[in-house]
A and B are shown apart, each in its own frame.
Chain A
Amino acid sequence: MTPDLIYGVTGIAVFAIGLVGALCAQDRLRRVLALKLCSVGAGFLLVVGAWRVPPASPDPVPHALVITGIVVMVSATAVALALIRRLQSLEAEDDD
């Protein structure tokens, strides 16, 4: 039971939970959350792949990739949330 095994399985489970949410969630905001979960799950897999038994230091390339992934994901989230806000405003105007 090394940490890479434990957290690797965790990452896959988190991705799967996000996948269920992204496919089934009804609420717009919650679907964004589900996609965020997927991205963290994918990040886990890369970080786990980079892990080496201490005292060896881990592989830095996947770390850089995950950082890139995190920044990309925050951009995508911001756009999705802006769309949600805009839509909500338009829908509220129509209902009035």
Chain B
Amino acid sequence: MARIGVFVCHCGENISATVDCGKVAETIGKLKHVVLSTEYKYMCSDPGQTLIKEAIKEHNLTGVVVSACSPRMHEPTFRKACAEGGLNPYLCEMANLREHCSWVHEKNELTTEKAIDIVRTQVEKVKLNSALQPIKVPVTKTAMVIGGGIAGIQAALDIANTGHKVVMIERSPSIGGHMSQLSETFPTLDCSQCILTPRMVEVAQHPNITLYTYAEVESVEGFIGNFTVKVRKKAKSLDEKLCTGCGLCTTKCPQKKIPNEFEQGMGMRPAIYIPFPQAVPNRPVIDREHCTYYIKGKCKICEIVCPTKAIRFDQPDEIIELQIGAIVAATGFDIKHADFFPEYGYGRYKDIIDGLQFERLASASGPTSGVIKRPSDGQIPKNIVFIACAGSRDPAKGIAYCSKICCMYTAKHAMLYKHKVHEGKAHVFYMDIRSGGKNYDEFVRRAIEEDHVNYIRGRVSTIYERNGKLIVKGVDTLLSSMPVEIEADMVVLATAGVANSGAEELAQKLHISYDSHKFFAEAHPKLKPVETNTAGIFLAGACQNPKDIPDSVSQASGSAVKVAALFSQNELTREPLVAVVNRMGPPLHSTCVGCFLCQAVCPYQAIEREDIKTRDGKVLKSLAKINEGLCQGCGTCVALCRSKSIDLHGYSNNQVYAEVVALLNEY
């Protein structure tokens, strides 16, 4: 027989000022199975909690209803108190008399009556609560970092340095990401490669890090602490153990006219190539799409010249399966390209380039060895226009957000230009200058004041070519509000930062959510910016939204700590408020009929198929089975299940039904 204790809290006067707490306690005390119904000024205080603990023992309570504030506030408090009093914490419910009653109604009888209804409802519910045990799942202490840019590198190193194993997956032939393409970095103008390369090498040499480049995630199954990840190692057409990285093959390859991705298409590379001199690993791969042998069936010059006979034309893709405990997604971003800006003439006029292309032009290792030469004729531009917010903050273009990094790198670009072309004129069209960050605004001011970059507040409507010049038509909204026309030799568009290609597919493989721009979604915009809604998967860097290097690195370190915290436990405990499929003895085994429509509604792929078999392996019946590690307890499957074969701990059919009845009927 149920023995329920009810504790009505006054919350100082927060509740008792409008609700007659004495009457509530008295009325509830008359309910069947309520053996104790009492009131107290502050239930959450130490004496209040002690009251509960003692009552549990004294009255041998089987259920507790604390009638106080919102369970979103103090449910953990009182569940803990019950546990300390010797009662299973899940046999405690809260009746929300404050936020949902005393604070929102006037003092009168109706309010007290409502309070009684609310408490009665919880009493009827708690009678049907079951004692639940936290769910324990083991943890595989190996992390996977997807993406080898600066965020991924930082996360991998931080995790590896805590002593845990890390697998890093990078889809291009080298790690380094966009940072390796940059010339110099704001706000210090130190060389990007110089600070990045040591980190890249550290990754390659770290005993706890296994690096797979030219590899992509094929599938992810499982749950926090227990992921099974399949990785496709694309064929490099190379025996990496034999290759010394001498690079002879790359110089002899006859196919040399392939736009170089690392140079943002501003240079060419051969079909067998090392993406850039500092690449890690410093080994070539054959780009099978462009390789003459794969296209025409003959050539094999690289094989002939290779001194160690390392070329393997028949190498297949390899799928490896890894057991992983936590995943850090650090897949970075891309920038909006080409035909997105027809009015800016990108793609039509050679001398209109994007920010990353300018980085390569300005880079000492770039196609022009760091001399700012315009692509069309190699002339040094005398008059250069930078357009910030090319696409960003433009709802009409479908990108309403600020790409965050453009203001700063545009200032840097203008500065670099002025440092290299002293007599040149640099103009920047901008909407606002967003230079929040340590030493950021000073940096922009330096561009304006010391380097005399001409900042024009206004947008550019169109760019077209006339008399060999690029006519940039815009408006100056600060001085005259009149149209401005600049005859430029070159234009640099700070195009919007967008989600990397394949982000959506990867998110679907990881079962994490993503926003309408395909950026990965954090679990909470403020309080859980590193977590995703899928437990055990964390975010680092610009895959979440455009970020600069310090932000990416900070978040990467944050995600590393999350992983390390997870790996500090041998097993995980989770709230047991999960769904469960009923089971019974043969011949029924369960009332589940195995339609598996629940699999379709589950946002977490937490519903598995379980085959009931005879001893000789014949399948008698297939049932749905909830994976407790994955289930988050939303209950959508419960409401969908036609035969009511699934139920949800904490919100069971019996409980919610009893709540409806209790709320509307007097007892």
Bound together: no
B interface residue numbers (CB < 8 A to A):
none
